[in-house]
Amino acid sequence: MIVVCDMGPLHYLVLVGAEHVLPQIFGRVLTPPAVLAEMSHPDTPVAVRGWAAAPPQWLEVKEPTCVEDIPALGRKGARGAGEKAAIALACEERADVVLMDDKTGRREARKRNLEPLWMLQVLDEAAERGLVRDLSQKLEYLEQETRFYVSKGCKRIIEDMKQRDLQRKQAQEA
């Protein structure tokens, strides 16, 4: 299975210490250089910049041959470059999944017959597979210690994830 990652999910997975789950869930993990460039921005947390400067061996950094201009993603200026490149690379590599948190980016990915997932889905799957044992702690950190945007709908999703995590732990103890 092939996944192409955008900046946001990688950024937050690194911050909560769960980026290692990507190759375990997907197998082949790719990202374009534009994403690592975004992760290297001076305003980015030191841990994320360090990770981007020396990515793990399992991450394939690959430049797409042709990046389509997607006006809906251009509104954010240079920050839309990673999303455009991730979508282009996912199309070229015939990726099974494109990992992207941005709502507009996910919509644009779907228009190109790509399957978008967002970071919380990856964390939930990792917990389900036993790859992350402290999901509730990671979610608390994400909500309280990072700039991760938590809408009302997202808050409900996170609470549901915490509840499933508690149920898994109770089942293991029984």
Predicted pLDDT of residue 76? 52
Residue 126 in any domain: the answer is no
Question: Do residue 24 and residue 98 come from a single domain?
Answer: yes
Residue 86 in any domain: the answer is yes
Question: Do residue 10 and residue 87 come from a single domain?
Answer: yes
Question: Do residue 114 and residue 144 come from a single domain?
Answer: no
- DSSP symbol at 76: T
Count of the separate structural domains present in the chain: 2
The pTM of this model reads 0.90
Give the mean pLDDT of 3-28: 96
Q: What is the C-alpha separation between 64 and 41, in angstroms, rounded?
A: 21
What are the φ/ψ torsions at residue 17 (nearest 5 degrees)? 70, 35
Where in the sequence is the domain holding 33, given as residue range(s)? Answer: 2-120
Question: Do residue 111 and residue 88 come from a single domain?
Answer: yes
Instruction: Name the residue with tokens 């990671």.
Output: 138
Residue 125 in any domain: the answer is no
Tokens read off for 56: 């793990």
pLDDT in tens, 79-123: 578 888 999 999 999 999 999 988 888 998 999 999 999 999 999
pLDDT in tens, 68-87: 766 555 555 455 788 889 99
pLDDT in tens, 147-161: 988 888 888 999 999
